[in-house]
Structure 1
Amino acid sequence: MGSFKGHVLPGTLFLVVGLWHVWSSLVRYVSNPKKYKVQVWNPVPGFDGRLKYLELYIIVIGAFIDMCIELLYSTHLKFLVNGVLNPSHMNDFEHSGMLLMFFIFGLVALLSQKTRFLPLPEGALCLIVSSAFCAEYLLFYFHSTNHKGLEGYYHFLLVLLIGLCVLSTVVGALFPSSFPVDLCCGIAITLQGLWFYQTAFTLYGPMMPEGCQLKENQISCHSKDSEVRGELLANFQLFVLVLGVLVAAVGSFGFVASRYGHSELGSLHAVHGEINQE
């Protein structure tokens, strides 16, 4: 069983990182389309380089704080019962393991960029973050076998979005100059963050579908029709989020192209247009 805060906290982290990834990929592409490279993280320009690694620090600090909440606060430090892991807090242990993977990725990326001890190429960082998404995918996939009904369906849709994150990061390592793949990765991370928010507000907030309720830490629907109606509502919510993100991405591309567009960008579109006409 989850909670409102338990979905909003990771959702905020994914949403911030995803939006920054989308924006940065658009700016980098329109600035120099011919030399575009996939980047698993994007430096913050300006400020004399003082905020260059802000994204990585957000990942490391955010994952660490959330991990501490799951492992220390939620468990009340009751890790063991009769010499074994406390079965009442297995969800917290699993979430902590997932967050640990993202913490490790951020730490490894910082060491790779700021020191000479771990000079990893961008493709290797893509595979490391894909392993973190894989851990998240497996966690929520097997979580979903325990979640039933409407709650299980919302987590099933979350698993699909996480799978898209896994796929896009792996493909990014295989095709390091693909702008669509890099943009898709940012969109997938953004959608994952938004879906965490949507799940929080729907299942644990004021947007509970009619005929369903949260009672005694369990989400139940009065009838099968109410549950089906809730699942259809979830489909519609996901459609709206996908449409909204795509419209925002297209609008942002137009704005970025008009402000930061390189002269080569127009020539590339002209060449593509001639090829399509032929």
Structure 2
Amino acid sequence: MGLFLPHFVQGLALTFLGLWHIINTIKSYLVKGPSNFTVRFWFQINTFQFKFKHLELILILIFSVLAFLRQIIDFPYFHYAFKLDNFEHATMFIHLALFAGFSFATELTDSLELFSGFVGILVSSVFSQELFLLHFHSTDHVGLEGHYHWLLQLIVFVSLVAALAATVFPNSFNAAIVLSISVIFQGCWFINMGFVLWIPAFVPEGCVMNMASKNGNEMHGAVTCGTKEADFRARGLANLQFSWILSAIMIFAGVVCLKLARKFTIVNRLEYERIQSKVVDSTVVNEGFKPGK
């Protein structure tokens, strides 16, 4: 993942996936209520203009397969090369593909309710393997790059705990919302890492990107800081970025909760008034046709 584009693409995919999940999770909670809410690890697309129930699973499966192939095949030369760090990255996408493939199979065989717990276990395995391979990476991430990867491990750990909690407590809205927020956070952090670590213009002051040739026309780099003061400042900026990004995501989640709550409250009130109106009309009609009058 030592290039800007893979960080950006993967981050963008995770961000959109998390946004999709947080909106649908809140909507499901408001519609079903606390007593009937059930955690879902994927959502169907069902609108008036477009209906494709399994599109999310299909897109995740396609993305996982393409990302896996990119790691083991040297694009654009289609040359197989065994590189340990690439296979570590590819292994993460294997677990993601297993989740999407098994979930899709349970839908096709109408057995989702029977194996919903195992689907949650597969989701947990995605984050557990991501955390495991990030922590015991064959490529040493040192200096500023190492600090960004350490902060990434914190986010993945929260995703893992939330996924396990959602599996064990399938009616927990809190576990579902934390999982969605952590996925968004992962995506945003990947994008942030891509800019700060792999775009020279965004490298912190006092630090430089060491560029080295990777495969002819690709560049592989790492950021080093000239002084301890510059390194300390760069790490401090990374910590601030971590907090700012999380704050922005929490603000977004809060706004979505309030907006959707207001929308569904209005809809429910109108539905209640419509039912009450029907009850009143029915009572008036019955009183008007009492026997003996």
How far 1:227 moved relative to its partner?
1.1
| Structure 1 residue aligned with 2:229 | 225
TM-aligned CA deviation for residue 232 of structure 1: 0.6
Corresponding residue number in structure 2 for 1:8: 8
The answer for the alignment partner of 1:153 in structure 2 is 147
Paired with 2:180 and 2:110, the residues of 1 have a C-alpha distance of: 28
Corresponding position of 1:209: 204
Structure 2 equivalent of residue 236 of structure 1: 240
Deviation at 1:47, TM superposition (A): 4.7
Shift of 1:73: 2.8
Q: C-alpha displacement at 1:75, in angstroms?
A: 9.6
**Higher normalized contact order (CA 8 Å, seq sep 6+, divided by chain length):** 1
1:189 to 2:183 alignment: yes
Q: CA RMSD in A?
A: 2.2
State the number of aligned residues.
257
* 4-13 vs 118-127, which moves further: 118-127
Identity %: 28
Report if aligned partners of 1:75, 1:92 keep a CA contact under 8 Å in 2. Answer: no
Structure possessing the higher radius of gyration over alpha carbons: 2
- Give the superposition deviation at 1:46: 2.4
Aligned to 2:46, the other structure's residue is in SS state: coil
What do residues 74-108 of structure 1 show as CA deviations (whole Å, max 9, x unaligned)?
5955546xxxxx3xx21111111111110111111
> Aligned AA for 1:227?
D
Task: State the Cα deviation string for residues 196-255 of structure 1 (Å, max 9, x = none).
Answer: 000001111232111111112232111111111111101100111110000000101111
Matches within 5 A, 1:27-176: 27-33=27-33, 34-47=35-48, 50-73=51-74, 79=80, 86=82, 89-116=83-110, 120-143=114-137, 146-176=140-170
**Match for 1:221: what amino acid?**
C
What's the secondary structure of 1:215's corresponding residue? Answer: strand
Q: CA deviation at 1:121?
A: 2.8
Compared CA separation, residues 223 and 76, structure 1 to 2 (3 A): farther
Flag structure 1 segments of 5+ consecutive residues without an equivalent.
81-85, 265-278
Residue identity opposite 2:12 in structure 1? T
TM-score if structure 1 supplies the norm length?
A: 0.86
Are 1:70 and 1:95, in contact at CA under 8 Å, matched by a contact in 2? yes
Amino acid of the residue matched to residue 70 of structure 1? Q
